Chains A and B, each alone.
Chain A
Amino acid sequence: MTVTNNDGGTPVPQEAPASLLLGIEGLNVSFSTPRGRVDVVRDVSLALAPGKALALVGESGSGKTVTARTLVGLNAANAKVTADRLEVLGRDALALSERQWRGVRGKEIGYVLQDALVSLDPLNTVGQEIDEALRAHGVRGKAERLERVHQALRDAGIPDPELRARQRSGELSGGLRQRALIAQATVLNPQLVIADEPTTALDATVQAQILELLEGLKEQGRGLIFISHDLAVVGRLADEIAVMQGGRIVESGRAAEVLADPRHEYTKALIDAIPSGAAKGTRLSAATRVRAAAEPDRATEFSETAPAVEARGLSKSYPGPGGTRRTVVDDVSFTLERGKTLGIVGESGSGKSTTARIALGLTRPDAGTVTLGGFAWAGAGADEVGEEQRRRHRPDIQLVNQDPLSSFDPRFSVGRVITDALEAGSIGTPRDRTQRALDLLARVGLPASLFDRRPLTLSGGQRQRVAIARALALQPRVLLLDEPVSALDVSIQAQVLDLLADLQEQLGLSYLFISHDLGVIHHVSDDVLVMKDGHVVESGTAAELFVNPQTDYTRQLLAAVPELPARA
């Protein structure tokens, strides 16, 4: 491993390169496409010493992932990699054959992908996946391999490894799954671990645990490269940061310095885009404000005095295995005032989505009532509200999901998606629906040129705007926003949050805002509901709850959120 490659006249820098895990200079990666070459990574230089963590920061398409995959030789077949120097663990990576790469992958470099649910073969047990790495690198002896599988799981902080090794990824919770993914990448004790968005989409407390695990890897003297768009996570783990934009490194340096004193405009924008309580009431992005175009003209019985949504004593349980019942929502009450935002925060399985479905009138509660704008909307027993009664009020409450793409008919154009919603609500005449759809697009800050595009060809942020436009088509009074920005990059997230704030102000909308991201919840909410295991653990105004949490659980949640050090 200490062999330095001197042929080809690659310049050997003064400071002992053999001790560096990575020495990259002038890396370029381009892809050949039917429309010609596309440069994805340009002139990237990186270095990493053992026991250090390097963060690649940037948005989707900034070249982070391609850079990382180049380090394990796993770019797509149409990729072309050139570099002045590409030294990985003391080897010239440009000269490695596929067979030699196979000896490196898994053994000397561990690669952890983003989402463990899809990054582990769902048909295999976790143990089989780890065992595969051992077999691929010639570890003979079944008993020895089994022992090492268990040890790897134990090292990744998984209790009861003998049991977990026999389970498939789908049977594990998000946190255990991510640990198992790390275990399969580190079972052979690689010197370098690359993790692509290792904590994205994890709940705050689980995220904190995974960060701890990664920190442990670092302390064992391994090098860690990780990719993230979450600067708070980066601040916690990284020694060095390289900020990427459009395939180039626009700023790099010691983590603390870059975060505290960003030089590049792009880095500053990324830091400003982080939603938090401190930025409450301010705009997160530089995007221009949208203007309300048309006034609502739909008749509604929505009361001007009653709360927008009032839920009392909601409960819901489902049959569990063996004739038991699993209570998903237990005695949940809340009030959403008109024109305000109520944030519901909680981890997976806390019952927030079921509460949302009840509020939408899609799931019948076992007990409790919901009123919407003063009229009875949902209930159980004597208070039960039939769908016929609900139907004419349905336009008053609309839903925006985390993943809008799956809620669009893929054959429809953007325009059709919206005119279809108008038609369903019998809003406007067939003739003026096109104009209304264009107005709605303008209202959510999208150009009219997107009217004929398919949602599949849009970016994540644009799709979410289309979803909001469609929800607005029926001129609702309440929007139920279920993790509306969770799948978006931080700067796109900032723009969508700003858009939602503008719309609320102009249209007087009330928001029921569900998220697992406490920063987002703090930023947008007037009132907050903290849920755990189907119960409301704590509720109150955002100002009180975040500053002075009353329960241990809320305190624990808040403590788990990584935060950036205050900027100078």
Chain B
Amino acid sequence: MSAAATTSHTGLPRTTATAGSAGRVILKRAAGSVFVLWAAVTLTFFVLRLTPGDPITAILGGAGSSPSPETVAAVKAQYGLDQPVFVQYLDYLAGLATGNFGTSYIFKVPVLDILGPQILPTFQLAGLAMVFSWAIALAFTLLTVGRGRVLDGIGRGTEVLFAALPPFWVGIMLAVVFAVILGWFPVAGDDGFKSLVLPALALAIPLAGFIAQVTRSSFEEALAQPFVLSARARGLSELAVRLGHALRHAILPGLTLSAWAVGSLVSSAVVAEIIFARPGLGRSLVDAIINRDLPITLAVVVIIAAVYIIVTLLVDVLYRVIDPRISEKGATA
């Protein structure tokens, strides 16, 4: 009954980790998130300053232009580039705190005016891709794991194939087959849910391969556990055992992978955005890098970092919902 009694008689006692109340855990995590965000901003800020090329040239229309020294000085003052780098950095942080991401070098308007309309399409794309990849991964796991050698082999092989496919190739193939030949979906553009399906699938298929591989092995492991035999001995059907017991255990490692996947989906969305001619953050990032538009580059990085942090927190919460033991570790370990 007591905490001590739950350890097996041979388990050497471990020092108990100090896990506070749920509120304190969340507060700690939030503080950690702010730190991670700050670190991402700082690192990107200084790394981008190290890249070759002069921002002034970018602002004044590229390498071909030959501005007068007066113009250069004026622009420098306008963008604060005459200040020491460290002062620029502090200015930038101060701006961020008030939601000001600076002014684009190329478009000469506030960064958020440009990125604002791009954010939602990218999130829609990444979100749907995530949903698709989980649906595919779970379908593979539920239908093929432990269903005989043939089905198992098919599932396993398909997963490896999926994981190995490059998204841009998947995207082109999907576009050719389902948009051009069959005409089920629009070839390009941003026109409601229908136009979202193919680009989301292009991103989802390779990711589904990864998630399914992880889920498969933990699902296999869970099916071999004695508690599954117990459940069968209670008279449960195969489906009930799979859905009610094995799946819950199998989801956990894939969930951890998902936090990483969402972050990378936002940045890899560019492939789908270009193939299917969609607006989005990924495209803006590529354009900004090519044009040396530092404020936009920086802003996209900050947004991706923030998304990653939020998703990680969400996954953490989900993890606790699925595996309630975690929240109690402090009391029972």
Interface residues of A in 315-361 (CB under 8 A from B): 318-321, 326, 328, 347-349, 353-354, 356-357
Contact A133-B226, Cβ < 8 Å, known A123-B322, A328-B13, A348-B9:
no
Q: Which residues from chain A contact B235 at a C-beta distance below 8 Å? A: 102-107, 133, 136-137
| Binary flags per residue of B227-255, CB closer than 8 Å to A gives 1, else 0 | 10111111111001000110011000000
Cβ A74 vs Cβ B232 within 8 A: yes
Bound-complex Cα distance A350 to B18 (A): 23
Cβ B226 vs Cβ A115 within 8 A: yes
Cβ A173 vs Cβ B229 within 8 A: no
Cβ B234 vs Cβ A516 within 8 A: no
| Binary flags per residue of B195-235, CB closer than 8 Å to A gives 1, else 0 | 00000000000000000000000000000011101111111
Contact A353-B16, Cβ < 8 Å, known A103-B235, A105-B235, A326-B4:
no
Bound-complex Cα distance A124 to B222 (A): 14
Q: Which residues from chain B contact A401 at a C-beta distance below 8 Å? A: 10
- Residue B332 interfacial (CB < 8 Å): yes
- Residue B2 interfacial (CB < 8 Å): yes
| Binary flags per residue of A416-428, CB closer than 8 Å to B gives 1, else 0 | 0000000000000
Bound-complex Cα distance A219 to B9 (A): 31
**Of residues B12, B16, B18, B248, which shows the largest number of chain A Cβ atoms within 10 Å of its Cβ?**
B12
- Residue B80 interfacial (CB < 8 Å): no
What 3 A-B pairs come out closest when comparing CB atoms? A111-B233, A106-B235, A106-B234
Bound-complex Cα distance A172 to B330 (A): 15
Bound-complex Cα distance A401 to B9 (A): 12
Cβ A132 vs Cβ B9 within 8 A: no
- Residue A189 interfacial (CB < 8 Å): no
Contact A74-B16, Cβ < 8 Å, known A132-B244, A348-B7, A348-B9:
no
Contact A123-B13, Cβ < 8 Å, known A107-B235, A328-B4:
no
- Residue A176 interfacial (CB < 8 Å): yes
Which residue of chain A has its CB nearest to the CB of B248? Answer: A123
Q: What are 8 residue pairs bridging A and B, where the CB atoms are less than 8 Å apart in the complex?
A: A105-B234, A109-B233, A110-B233, A122-B227, A129-B231, A133-B234, A353-B10, A401-B10
- Residue B323 interfacial (CB < 8 Å): yes
- Residue B6 interfacial (CB < 8 Å): yes
Bound-complex Cα distance A496 to B19 (A): 42
Contact partner of B234 (CB less than 8 A), chosen from A132, A201, A402, is A132
Cβ A483 vs Cβ B233 within 8 A: no
Contact A172-B234, Cβ < 8 Å, known A74-B229, A122-B325, A321-B331:
no
Interface residues of A in 472-486 (CB under 8 A from B): 482-483, 486
Contact partner of B2 (CB less than 8 A), chosen from A115, A133, A136, A349, is A349
Q: Which residues from chain A contact B65 at a C-beta distance below 8 Å? A: none
Bound-complex Cα distance A106 to B7 (A): 29
- Residue A113 interfacial (CB < 8 Å): yes
Bound-complex Cα distance A486 to B9 (A): 10
- Residue B51 interfacial (CB < 8 Å): no
Other A-B pairs, 17, CB within 8 Å; known A113-B226, A347-B9: A77-B148, A105-B234, A106-B235, A113-B229, A113-B230, A117-B8, A118-B227, A119-B230, A120-B227, A121-B230, A122-B325, A129-B231, A184-B234, A318-B15, A319-B16, A319-B18, A349-B7
Which residue of chain A has its CB nearest to the CB of B230? Answer: A119
Number of B interface residues, CB 8 Å?
42
Cβ A185 vs Cβ B233 within 8 A: yes
| Binary flags per residue of A163-177, CB closer than 8 Å to B gives 1, else 0 | 000001011111010
Which residue of chain A has its CB nearest to the CB of B15? Answer: A318
Bound-complex Cα distance A106 to B332 (A): 31
Contact A185-B10, Cβ < 8 Å, known A120-B227, A122-B325:
no
Interface residues of B in 122-142 (CB under 8 A from A): none
Bound-complex Cα distance A123 to B245 (A): 8
- Residue A82 interfacial (CB < 8 Å): no
Which residue of chain B has its CB nearest to the CB of A108? Answer: B235
Bound-complex Cα distance A138 to B242 (A): 19
- Residue A259 interfacial (CB < 8 Å): no
B27, chain A: closest CB distance, angstroms: 19
- Residue B324 interfacial (CB < 8 Å): yes
Cβ B11 vs Cβ A353 within 8 A: yes
Cβ A170 vs Cβ B325 within 8 A: yes
Cβ A123 vs Cβ B323 within 8 A: yes
Contact partner of B13 (CB less than 8 A), chosen from A107, A120, A354, is A354
Which residue of chain A has its CB nearest to the CB of B5? Answer: A173
Interface residues of A in 89-117 (CB under 8 A from B): 102-107, 109-111, 113-115, 117
Contact A319-B15, Cβ < 8 Å, known A118-B227, A119-B230:
yes
Q: Which residues from chain A contact B54 at a C-beta distance below 8 Å? A: none
Bound-complex Cα distance A258 to B234 (A): 33
Cβ B6 vs Cβ A172 within 8 A: yes
Bound-complex Cα distance A185 to B229 (A): 12
Contact A486-B12, Cβ < 8 Å, known A119-B226, A123-B324, A185-B234:
no
Contact A171-B9, Cβ < 8 Å, known A102-B237, A105-B235, A111-B233:
no
Cβ B5 vs Cβ A349 within 8 A: yes
- Residue A203 interfacial (CB < 8 Å): yes
Bound-complex Cα distance A109 to B225 (A): 21
Cβ B2 vs Cβ A114 within 8 A: no
- Residue A403 interfacial (CB < 8 Å): yes
A77, chain B: closest CB distance, angstroms: 8
- Residue A53 interfacial (CB < 8 Å): no
Bound-complex Cα distance A328 to B3 (A): 12
Which residue of chain A has its CB nearest to the CB of B147? Answer: A77
- Residue B328 interfacial (CB < 8 Å): yes
- Residue B150 interfacial (CB < 8 Å): no
Contact partner of B9 (CB less than 8 A), chosen from A170, A326, A483, is A483
- Residue B1 interfacial (CB < 8 Å): yes
Bound-complex Cα distance A535 to B248 (A): 42
Bound-complex Cα distance A121 to B232 (A): 12
Interface residues of A in 129-185 (CB under 8 A from B): 129, 132-133, 136-137, 168, 170-174, 176, 181, 184-185
Which residue of chain B has its CB nearest to the CB of A203? Answer: B9
Cβ A403 vs Cβ B10 within 8 A: yes
Cβ A136 vs Cβ B240 within 8 A: yes
Cβ A106 vs Cβ B18 within 8 A: no
Which residue of chain B has its CB nearest to the CB of A403? Answer: B10
Bound-complex Cα distance A181 to B234 (A): 11
Cβ B16 vs Cβ A318 within 8 A: yes
Bound-complex Cα distance A403 to B8 (A): 12
Cβ B229 vs Cβ A486 within 8 A: no
Cβ B4 vs Cβ A121 within 8 A: no
Q: Which residues from chain B contact A356 at a C-beta distance below 8 Å? A: 12
Q: Which residues from chain B contact A105 at a C-beta distance below 8 Å? A: 232-235
A354, chain B: closest CB distance, angstroms: 6
- Residue A255 interfacial (CB < 8 Å): no
- Residue A72 interfacial (CB < 8 Å): yes
**Of residues A105, A121, A124, A482, which shows the largest number of chain B Cβ atoms within 10 Å of its Cβ?**
A121
Q: Which residues from chain A contact B8 at a C-beta distance below 8 Å? A: 117, 174, 201, 348
Which residue of chain A has its CB nearest to the CB of B333? Answer: A170
Contact A119-B229, Cβ < 8 Å, known A326-B4, A349-B5:
yes
Bound-complex Cα distance A111 to B235 (A): 10
Which residue of chain B has its CB nearest to the CB of A483? Answer: B10
Contact partner of B1 (CB less than 8 A), chosen from A111, A136, A176, A486, is A176
Q: Which residues from chain A contact B231 at a C-beta distance below 8 Å? A: 121, 129, 132
Which residue of chain B has its CB nearest to the CB of A321? Answer: B331
Bound-complex Cα distance A183 to B237 (A): 20
A270, chain B: closest CB distance, angstroms: 24
Q: Which residues from chain B contact A111 at a C-beta distance below 8 Å? A: 229-230, 233
Bound-complex Cα distance A214 to B118 (A): 67
Which residue of chain A has its CB nearest to the CB of B331? Answer: A321
Bound-complex Cα distance A320 to B7 (A): 14
Q: Which residues from chain A contact B16 at a C-beta distance below 8 Å? A: 318-321
**Of residues B5, B9, B248, B330, which shows the largest number of chain A Cβ atoms within 10 Å of its Cβ?**
B9
Q: Which residues from chain B contact A353 at a C-beta distance below 8 Å? A: 9-13
